[in-house]
Amino acid sequence: MREFATAMTRRRLMATAAALSITRPGLAANAPWTRQAFEQAMARSGRPCTLTDEQFEAIQARKPAAIKRIADYLQAHRGAADPRVLAAFEAVPR
């Protein structure tokens, strides 16, 4: 049963990533993801928060490593990292 639950979780992850690749983001795709845009999005979602410029930049600097971990995971568990799935994760602003 546990294997089934784990497989479902992976399937949901893949399906969500694929869906993100075909849906339009809330911000224009060519709009830069800035600290101000982040804070506005958080406020609109009912979760206002503030970050310093340094905190925001530190979070953004971790994104390439996170994308690599996702690619490595997909390669190890699915045999390949679908470029569309990776593009969907890269499109997520944080």
Q: What percent of the chain has pLDDT over 90?
A: 46
pLDDT tens per residue, range 14-55: 666 666 555 555 544 567 788 999 899 899 999 988 899 999
Q: What is the pLDDT of residue 32?
A: 78
pTM, 2 dp: 0.56
Assess whether pLDDT exceeds 60 at residue 79.
Answer: yes
What does the alpha-carbon distance between residue 3 and residue 8 come to, in Å, rounded to a whole number? 9
Query: Which amino acid is present at 23?
Result: T
Token pair for residue 6? 């784990």
* HEC-encoded secondary structure of the chain: CHHHHHHHHHHHHHHHHHHHHHCCCCCCCCCCCCHHHHHHHHHHCCCCCCCCHHHHHHHHHHHHHHHHHHHHHHHHHHCCCCHHHHHHHHHCCC
